[in-house]
Amino acid sequence: MLDFKYLIGIAIILLSTKIFGGLTEKIKLPQVVGALLAGIIIGPSVLGIVHDTKFLDEVAELGVIILMFMAGLDTDLNQLKKKGASYLVIALFGVIIPLVGGFLSYFWFFHVNPASEQELLKAIFVGVVLTATSVSITVEALRELGHLTGRIGNAILGAAIVDDVIGIIILSIVTSFKDSSISISTVLIKILVYFIAMFIFGIIIMYGARLLDLKTNRRQITVYVFALVLFIAYISEEYVGIADITGAYLVGMIFSKFSIRNEIVKKMNIMSYLFFSPIFFASIGLKTKLDTFSSSMLVFSIILLAVAIFTKILGAGLGARICKYTRHEAVNIGIGMVSRGEVALIVAQKGYNLGLIDHDMFSPIILMVVITTILTPVVLKYTMSKKNNDSLEAI
């Protein structure tokens, strides 16, 4: 018999995220911060009245797909074409430095024996988790601040997409040492074919833009486009190994130049605001279980968190400076890429399935994900308003 308790859980999530979102807005913080805190408070860490379920995870995944699709719709393609090389450099530094930092922190704290291949792989994989960048919450914060389509917003989004591809390649290489069924060359070929296919698909859609723009019944177009987003997201995740949110973002970019864009944004905004986004933001908090920490893992959690924040700001910020961004812009780009979100959780789950991450390591990773996700929009709001503060401009 169908259990209807999930209705109560959804109702509590929707009410709590809006209440806490309103409270954080009153103290001049992005509403997404309140939604994340709501998830922690109603989740197992505090009140324990709502628990993470497979259904909520699936709805949350739809929420992040919608967010990234809308981010794609807001992307300035002309800026992306001009700055593509810069985004590559930012992403490279934003991946390599956290990878090294995560490896060294695990290697040093747990006194890894260099002769043990298994322990070395575990240390490397902690670094792989830190390479992840999830900009879905940064996107919402930037949108609230009105900077999503500026130089900083475009750099964060562009670099995050490249970051995702680089992260997949590194993940594939590391896991190939553990899982003989994974071929590095096959993964690289898949990624190359995928982006070529998406480029060709974009050209076809662009040529068909006139047909869509002249269509009189525009109410149905949003349904067709959203169905396409879900289809591409599924293909990306299931058959290519690229995150579904990357596919959603690329489809959004393709439709960003259409005259029907505003109609799509209007309808998707309503759906996202009312239901999907609150569940996505709250679901991150629901995954936090603070009572599972031992004293040693709590210490490692603090170290991991510090390394996760510092290395991402340093790496992405340094890459931005190399690409001639101002110090203020470089700092904000680095901060905008600090959030690890669901991407780090997906990578960690992959490592757990292959025995590269122990069960005890999940709590530090989740805490790192939650805090970086909450901290990013808070700090970003502050630093974006301090353009002339020299103390914040130093990297």
Sequential pLDDT tens for the chain (395 residues): 567 788 999 999 999 999 998 998 887 666 777 888 899 899 988 898 998 888 998 998 898 889 888 878 877 777 667 778 898 999 999 999 999 999 999 999 988 888 888 888 889 989 999 998 877 777 777 777 777 777 888 888 888 878 877 877 787 677 766 666 666 777 778 888 888 998 898 888 877 665 655 454 566 788 888 999 999 999 988 887 777 877 888 898 888 877 778 888 888 989 988 999 899 888 878 877 766 677 888 899 999 999 999 999 999 999 999 998 999 899 999 998 998 876 777 678 677 777 788 777 877 887 888 888 888 888 888 887 765 444 444 44
Q: Which amino acid is at 204?
A: I
For 377, residues 6+ apart whose C-beta sits below 8 A from its C-beta are 29, 30, 32, 33, 137, 138, 140, 141, 339
**Rounded Cα distance, 18 and 24, in Å:** 10
Report pLDDT for 67.
84
Report pLDDT for 392.
41
Report pLDDT for 12.
95
In the chain, where are the structural domains located? Answer: 5-393
Fold of 5-393: Na+/H+ antiporter like fold (1.20.1530)
Report pLDDT for 2.
63
Structure tokens of 23? 């409270």
